[in-house]
Structure 1
Amino acid sequence: MKRAFALILCLSTAPLAAAPYAEHQEARPDLFDPATGYRVGRQRAPTPDDIPAPAVLVSPVEARDLLAAGAVALDVFGAQQSRFDELDGTWLVSQQRLSLPGAIWLPEVGRGQLSAVMQRYLAEGLTQATGGDMARPLVVYCVADCWMSWNAAQRIAAMGYARVHWFRLGTDGWLDMGGVLEPVDPVPVNVD
């Protein structure tokens, strides 16, 4: 039993260089937060072909099947103006966002570093979206070549959500497989 625990401990503390995204970090370390590994710069760029566990990469078909089985579609696409009204919490967006049917849009929660307000926004949004069930499956996405969904999926898993699925191709992959998109409004920020 002690050997198995030691082996698991050794595997879980493997250096980041062994991660599938290490080539990205090595090429441009200035784009990553050294404390968390989240990408902090140039969010719209090619993403890795995998994501660190416990989050799991899913294909468009797997995302569709998860959603059909009751998973929450969590869109983390950034708001064009990246800000909300501090008086009422509504997001200032210049264009209507089209997303997966039934999606919940929590903009900006995939940034590499979050303010305390945005961390609370994410936590409250997840609680509302899942009904407080941290085992409810979540499909986290943005668009193809968007690190915000990669960051958000890891952040959500680190918060204790047990079934986090990263849909790397996002709305682009959904459209490519023949899926339809619907208008979605961003969840307001609680400014109380």
Structure 2
Amino acid sequence: MGIGLIVLSAFAYATTALANDDALPEPDSYWQGAMNGKVPATIAGGTVIATHQLTELIQRDNPVLIDVVPAPRRPLEQTSPWLPPPHRNIPRSVWIPGAGSGVISAAMTDYFRTRLNELTHQDHRKAIVFYCRVDCWASWNAAKRAIAEGYRHIYWYPDGVEAWQAAGLQTETATPEGPGVQ
């Protein structure tokens, strides 16, 4: 074995070891800390997917796509009329801001449950993809909620809409829905 191959093998091992040491473990329950930050590489009961896998899944299975990016809030100092900036998401997505919070209200719990049943036609085998923004816990929490509701084909797209856009894929303007949405 040549010295170059030995060095390359050692580098690959060290890189993998560092990546594994750096992996964030899944919390036991819903994440209640800051919603933006380092997220785990896994989701128990679900499947983590990348952009190319999501495009294949959309073509093959026509999954339900759920965006849980929090809705923008009116700035406190704003005294004149205010319109939130347009929100872009993956085409055919349903935008349910607040569904990925660490703790959600009874109204949001009921809405989330009812909306999943409607979107899947009460088929717990229907593929559902949850996403948010890159390094956003909201999509992880929402996916965990769907898993807890008994849905069996849950996909988590942790790279979010930014990765979708970076790949040159189309987005569309979204309208939020759910409790408290105006």
Shorter-chain TM-score range: 0.7 to 0.9
Q: Give the ranges of 4+ consecutive aligned residues of structure 1 lying more than 6 Å apart after TM superposition.
A: none
| Whole-angstrom CA distance in 1 between matches of 2:42 and 2:180 | 33
**Matched residue SS, 1:98:** strand
Contact 1:104 1:129 in 2 (8 A): no
Offset from partner CA, 1:6-48 (integer Å, 9 cap, x none)? xxxxxxxxxxxxxx633x86xxxxxxxxxx5211121011212
Contact 2:97 2:178 in 1 (8 A): no
Shift of residue 93, structure 1, vs aligned partner:
6.9
Distance of aligned partners of 1:48 and 1:182 in 2 relative to their CA distance in 1, 3 Å threshold: same
Contact 1:106 1:125 in 2 (8 A): no
1:114 maps to 2:117: no
**Is the radius of gyration larger for structure 1 or structure 2?**
2
TM-score w.r.t. structure 1 length?
Answer: 0.72
What is the number of equivalent residue pairs in this alignment? 151
Shift of residue 188, structure 1, vs aligned partner:
3.9
| Whole-angstrom CA distance in 1 between matches of 2:118 and 2:38 | 31
Identity, in percent, stands at: 28
| Whole-angstrom CA distance in 1 between matches of 2:66 and 2:125 | 15
| Whole-angstrom CA distance in 2 between matches of 1:178 and 1:96 | 19
One-letter identity of the residue aligned with 2:120: T
What runs of 5+ residues in structure 2 fail to find an aligned partner?
A: 1-22, 75-81
Shift of residue 81, structure 1, vs aligned partner:
2.6
Distance of aligned partners of 1:49 and 1:145 in 2 relative to their CA distance in 1, 3 Å threshold: same
| Whole-angstrom CA distance in 2 between matches of 1:64 and 1:147 | 22
1:46 maps to 2:20: no
| Whole-angstrom CA distance in 1 between matches of 2:119 and 2:83 | 21
1:189 maps to 2:173: no
Within the candidate set 112, 135, 151, 1:145 is matched to: 135
1:73 maps to 2:65: yes
RMSD (CA atoms): 2.2
Contact 2:24 2:38 in 1 (8 A): no
What runs of 5+ residues in structure 1 fail to find an aligned partner?
A: 1-19, 26-35, 83-91
Shift of residue 160, structure 1, vs aligned partner:
0.4
Offset from partner CA, 1:117-163 (integer Å, 9 cap, x none)? 11011111111211221111011100101000011111111110110
Within the candidate set 46, 59, 65, 2:50 is matched to: 59
Contact 1:76 1:108 in 2 (8 A): yes
1:175 maps to 2:141: no
